Structure 1
């Protein structure tokens, strides 16, 4: 039985506000920067097919389950599991998501600062740079001792200012403005990209599958990992946002709408990138440098490239900001509800600690470039720990909790699935499919096989 919200507890004011806020949390750098380069590295169209399968088999069931946990308990992520589990290790399952959110926050703000720097460069007409200069300029920027940290601080401060307004007046209000703007920009950029010479080659790469790549196990692992990152699964975000849900909102419809919206956005963002990449003879498998090295090189050779670059990096900044807001809110809600810290103090603590612990990631390509963790730069090492260890562990704990610990009748009542067939499909997914797939990804990530 879903608990009634406490009189002083924040709530989303409408279904649309909730959907936009959750899409804002999910749609971030993962949908534009990360989705594009992971798709490029894993065969384009065939990867998309596997990715869609991962969203259906694992993404939507866990998305729905996390929302249900949040709304049923009316608590933030860590406290929600403590309330439902009552005893045993299950009580601590939620803290994994909070830890993952904080770890991601520390380096996500750094990369968001890079995007803001490039956006500012296009605003001031310092960009695009002369042809051939983008790789050297990016390397010089991230190796600088001071400038990356300044942009890191500025973008984090912007997210803090919005979160300080609270759930309704801060996060929801901002997302009602930023998300339509985000969609408008990505659609306009996609339409422009389709007019480029040889754009059809990019579309073929993206939508015509090369089935031979399905022989590579890495494709399946990358698809599931991207689904986790893109949908915001297992970070505590969905449980926390679900806890602000009014009782009248129907979870299954909302979960499907959010998953489809998130996936559609990622595909449209890929339509922005891949036709441009093929039009100018670049390789689609460029890795993380795609957004900050390859695309700036394309913009300088493109008619109207200064305007397109301005719009593209504006898109990145908005997407990064809405996700940063969600990561902050998870950690702030944890301190407020679990430790009775005032919201203002919690925001200061999370932002201050997040910034301080993000500085090593920012300096890891310059002054601290000699520091390696397991052979990786600091930012990459934190990303590996969060994305390949904490998130899969958190996701596995959530799936097992939903499928095996939470009483089936209570879980289905909270989820709101009325059809017996769909109820059985959901139970099958969270009991067997999701745990098995997540366990394989986790074991592969840490080098067991």
Structure 2
């Protein structure tokens, strides 16, 4: 059976960038920047993205591209000479990580969708419905989480080219246009310039602050959606031996650019809210991430009248699109495994995985206070960094035959690949260990 694939480089880049660009960029990055010195955080973030996050992205995509298989089979093949069972185990752990990510991500994405519809409801005069949509409740979670899961499944079950590639090519330009439009509007409001100054002018005295450096390293790593196999399976859908380096740079550049633009939107918006009399900071820290998205900014938008409701609808639609492009890649990881190893049809695999995600999400909704934060912490501070550390070890130490990076490094004109291979094998594991130890403990 011929594997489905991406039909163009731009299709691959947009899909992979869509996987990376999510709530971590548009919500997490500006929050971290606001809490860690603004411009200083941005500077350090760019540095550590080059030093650590892009090599990690390269390693994951490279494994998928060279093996042309789903993450379980890919890691099993790469580790076949030394630790084949452990390779497959690591791949299956990635499948579990993808489902864990979807279980909480779809709940949060449902919140974004509900708030977008809340603004629309206000615009058409249905105030009671608007208030209900904007108010957190178990009933709202039970309704909107399945809606978002179904939206992702409708795209994934169409296939790599017809579904993922085509929809990424539609959604990513839409996301960019909406983001730029919102930035232009917010920067015209009173107080925005103070936020812009805070964001773009670094205080270099803070650059060596250990907590800032660790925060920037964690953000750079996690915002690229590395460690659950999504990038690996996308890499496997590209023709073998493409210039992975250029593709990774394109994905990283687009991801970083969107994060930068998100900072241009969110941080000035916070200062606009502060200028309007809202309390935004306490002891130079944001008063809370949840309050930032679901209280401070909606209150700001409401104070702007009808145009504010339009802005609110656009803002939360933007977040919904960002969440959707990320959930697509995570869904594809277990779907590809079922299709290729268990001979499921794509349609059957997609809806089975969606049903599993729905059940996991409903468990989180039922035991929200106990499980929600715990699942996020386990995935982002333990499973993702350990998975990525394993990718570095596979490429640098375990994988012998079939590792074209090492084969080419022996040829005179490709000696630079030897240096790159050593960087992946020695430097990256050390840097990633530093991130893991400081973030997890």
| TM-score, normalised relative to structure 1 | 0.88
Please say if 1:355 is aligned against 2:358.
yes
C-alpha contact 1:228 1:234 (8 A) present in aligned 2: no
C-alpha contact 1:336 1:343 (8 A) present in aligned 2: yes
SS of aligned partner of 1:165: coil
C-alpha contact 1:82 1:90 (8 A) present in aligned 2: yes
Tell me whether 54-63 or 421-430 shows the greater mean CA deviation: 421-430
C-alpha contact 2:115 2:316 (8 A) present in aligned 1: yes
Please say if 1:323 is aligned against 2:316.
no
Q: CA deviation at 1:264?
A: 0.5
Q: CA deviation at 1:209?
A: 1.8
SS of aligned partner of 1:54: helix
Task: Please give the alpha-carbon distance, in whole angstroms, between the structure 1 residues aligned to 2:199 and 2:255.
Answer: 17
Report 1:340-379 matches (<5 A). 340-365=343-368, 369=369, 372=370, 378-379=371-372
Matched residue, 1:53: 47
Matched residue, 1:396: 389
Which stretches of structure 1, 4 residues or more, deviate above 4 A after TM superposition?
126-130, 413-422
Matched residue, 1:39: 33
Q: CA deviation at 1:420?
A: 4.7
Q: CA deviation at 1:96?
A: 3.1
Task: Please give the alpha-carbon distance, in whole angstroms, between the structure 1 residues aligned to 2:366 and 2:304.
Answer: 33
C-alpha contact 1:128 1:305 (8 A) present in aligned 2: no
Matched residue, 1:297: 299
Task: Please give the alpha-carbon distance, in whole angstroms, between the structure 2 residues aligned to 1:80 and 1:347.
Answer: 20
Matched residue, 1:309: 312
Report 1:215-364 matches (<5 A). 215-247=208-240, 249-281=242-274, 282-283=280-281, 285-289=286-290, 290-302=292-304, 304-364=307-367
Task: Please give the alpha-carbon distance, in whole angstroms, between the structure 1 residues aligned to 2:404 and 2:340.
Answer: 23
Matched residue, 1:93: 90
The Cα RMSD (Å) is 2.7
Task: Please give the alpha-carbon distance, in whole angstroms, between the structure 1 residues aligned to 2:6 and 2:339.
Answer: 18
Residues 278 and 437 from structure 1, CA distance in 2 versus in 1: closer, same or farther, beyond 3 angstroms? same
Q: CA deviation at 1:225?
A: 1.9
Task: Please give the alpha-carbon distance, in whole angstroms, between the structure 2 residues aligned to 1:127 and 1:264.
Answer: 35
Task: Please give the alpha-carbon distance, in whole angstroms, between the structure 1 residues aligned to 2:392 and 2:94.
Answer: 13
Please say if 1:206 is aligned against 2:206.
no
Q: CA deviation at 1:291?
A: 1.6
CA offset digits 1:230-270 (Å, max 9, x no partner): 11111201110000002374211111011011000011011
C-alpha contact 2:66 2:403 (8 A) present in aligned 1: no
Count of aligned pairs: 425
Matched residue, 2:6: 12
Task: Please give the alpha-carbon distance, in whole angstroms, between the structure 2 residues aligned to 1:235 and 1:49.
Answer: 27
Q: CA deviation at 1:39?
A: 1.9
Q: CA deviation at 1:348?
A: 2.1
Task: Please give the alpha-carbon distance, in whole angstroms, between the structure 1 residues aligned to 2:335 and 2:170.
Answer: 23
Task: Please give the alpha-carbon distance, in whole angstroms, between the structure 1 residues aligned to 2:407 and 2:14.
Answer: 22
Task: Please give the alpha-carbon distance, in whole angstroms, between the structure 2 residues aligned to 1:415 and 1:277.
Answer: 50
Please say if 1:125 is aligned against 2:122.
yes
Residues 67 and 446 from structure 1, CA distance in 2 versus in 1: closer, same or farther, beyond 3 angstroms? closer
Q: CA deviation at 1:74?
A: 0.7
Q: CA deviation at 1:425?
A: 4.6
C-alpha contact 1:189 1:308 (8 A) present in aligned 2: yes
Task: Please give the alpha-carbon distance, in whole angstroms, between the structure 2 residues aligned to 1:216 and 1:356.
Answer: 42
Matched residue, 2:428: 434
C-alpha contact 1:78 1:334 (8 A) present in aligned 2: yes
Residues 190 and 425 from structure 1, CA distance in 2 versus in 1: closer, same or farther, beyond 3 angstroms? farther
Task: Please give the alpha-carbon distance, in whole angstroms, between the structure 2 residues aligned to 1:225 and 1:129.
Answer: 42
Task: Please give the alpha-carbon distance, in whole angstroms, between the structure 1 residues aligned to 2:401 and 2:197.
Answer: 45
Q: Which stretches in structure 1 are left out of the alignment for 5+ residues?
A: 1-6, 373-377
Q: CA deviation at 1:407?
A: 3.6
Task: Please give the alpha-carbon distance, in whole angstroms, between the structure 2 residues aligned to 1:313 and 1:129.
Answer: 18
Candidates 71, 75, 86, aligned match of 1:77:
71
Q: CA deviation at 1:41?
A: 2.2
